[in-house]
Amino acid sequence: MKIKYTEEIWMEGNMYVSYAPELDMAACGETLDQAKRNLAEIVVINFEEMKKMGTLDAFLEQNELELTHDHEDVIQANKILIGFEAKEIPV
């Protein structure tokens, strides 16, 4: 089984933060690569635990994720990220 998710990355102080909005899971690291690896590890650990506890189906439903059964079993969000833009407007 695989999962497709969006990875948002930003800086907070001296740390990189990696966030998967579809899963509401985040990790940080001292380097960009470390933050990405840490997020992937957190996703894997959480999914393994949800499978063991029998809560994976509820998590998928709550977060509007689907399990597709094409060539491989893939979990993905119903929505597709198009992009981000930094905006500045007067308020």
Q: What percent of the chain has pLDDT over 70?
A: 98
Class of domain 2-77: alpha beta
pTM attached to this predicted model: 0.82
Split at pLDDT 50, 70, 90, the class of 8 is very high
Angle at 33 between CA 20 and CA 39, to 5 degrees: 30
pLDDT tens digits, 42-69: 999 999 999 999 999 999 999 888 888 7
Break the chain into its structural domains and give their ranges: 2-77
Instruction: Kindly report the average pLDDT of the chain as a whole number.
Output: 90
Determine the length of the chain: 91
The pLDDT assigned to 31 comes to: 96
